[in-house]
Amino acid sequence: MRESFEDQIKPRLTQSRFAGQNLSTLKLAAQFIFLVAGLGSISNPAAEASLDTPPLSISPASPKSEGRPLWQFGFGAGAGVTPHYPASDESSLRFLASPTFRYRGRVLRSDDEGTRARLLTLENAEIDVSGAASFPVGGSENKARQGMRQLDWIGEVGPRLNVRWKFQNAGKLRDDRLRLSIPIRAVASSDGSNLAHRGFIFQPGLSFERILDVSNKLKSEISVEVDTYVSLIDKTLANYYFGVAPFDATPFRRSFDAAPGILTVSSGLTFYVSPKDISNNGSSFFVGVRNATTAWSANRDSPLHRSDQQFIFYAGFNLLIWNSGAREAFSGPQIAPHQPQPMRE
């Protein structure tokens, strides 16, 4: 939907379990990988930047031109109040500040929908490989989990189907946008030295975006996005969050074998202020709130299920500083055009 740092950082500040994506060092590593891949492809004739594109140049904000820059570089920061884990009754204030990078290759991309590799692109649909991550929670950090193993850094990766629709919005710079996202991801955890498979998560969702107003004085547009996601998990991941082994049981925390099913149903509301011309540099801001409902959780009877309602608050900014001279290649349907055959006598 949107092309800015808020869409790379904001969902991750709202916890991947609740919104559809959460900040971690995995995100920074992915951005670095895409930076290297992006710079390498620009100088490679067989890569995504074709020989017909202008040569690479690094410069401050460039004048408005046709097509978006192949890559942009800047700095962003965000903060959010997020629950420790799904159905937790405790929250923490999280911060993140980092360089930000957008890359718009035909296959490798880091933009409004996160860092991913696009496998198939059609007119209104796309299949890609995407990822998400979330913060760790120490065993002594959360009262309900006192004495239990900590929840490590979580990483997710898997295929995703995106379907998009546009609706006319009279008098606005661009149309309203509706997106259906259907990802299924493998989940793994790491304490920094070991990696363990934790199961799978299925997280279909809908998001809708509309421009509310345009400020010519500020050269910015004000828009709003609403979204709803349903998260379903398998038994392995359910036990990682809600299972209590016999040796972790106490008089106040009975042993519990978790079941697969619904994890959360969440809805969010986010306001954005961003440059009108996305081909140029500038500052973007966002602020939002999300509600995650765990009342329908398959593991509501777990002693680690402490709350049916959770609220997440987040805000941040992004400042883009550098543009590439090369422009984004055509990213429409990846279907070979029909080649007329010469007539035979």
Q: What is the DSSP code (8-state) at residue 292?
A: E
CB of 163 closer than 8 Å to CB of 148 = no
Decide if pLDDT at 166 tops 70.
yes
Judge whether residue 115 has pLDDT over 70: no
* pLDDT-wise least confident of 50-54, 100-104, 212-216, 243-247: 50-54
Number of residues written out for the chain: 345
Listed in sequence order, the residues at least 6 apart from 131 whose beta carbon sits closer than 8 Å to its beta carbon are 26, 30, 114, 115, 116, 155, 156, 157, 158, 185
Dihedral sign of CA atoms 251, 89, 17, 189 in order = negative
Task: Compute the distance between CA of residue 332 and CA of residue 208 in angstroms, rounded to an integer.
Answer: 21
Residues 208-249 pLDDT 10s? 999 888 777 767 888 999 999 999 999 999 999 999 999 999
Phi/psi at 75 (5° precision): -140, 140
DSSP annotation string for 200-263: EEE--EEEEEEEEEEETTTTEEEEEEEEEEEEEE-HHHHHHHH-B-GGG-BTTB--B----EEE
CB 251: neighbour CB atoms within 10 A?
Answer: 5
**pLDDT tens digits for 189-199?**
998 889 999 99
- Distance separating alpha carbons of residues 155 and 160, to the nearest angstrom: 15
- State how far the Cα of 315 lies from the Cα of 132, in Å rounded to an integer: 19
Q: What is the pLDDT of residue 172?
A: 60
3-state secondary structure at position 334? coil
Which residues are 268's β-sheet partners? 227, 290
Residue 280, pLDDT score: 60
* Mean pLDDT lowest among 20-24, 150-154, 203-207: 20-24
Give the CA distances from residue 93 to residues 2, 164, 191, 324, in Å, rounded to whole numbers and listed in that order. Answer: 25, 33, 21, 35
Contacts of 232 (CB under 8 A, 6+ apart): 201, 202, 203, 260, 261, 262, 263
In this predicted structure, what is the pLDDT of residue 303? Answer: 97
> What pLDDT is recorded for position 184?
96
H helices of 18-90, in order, are: 25-42
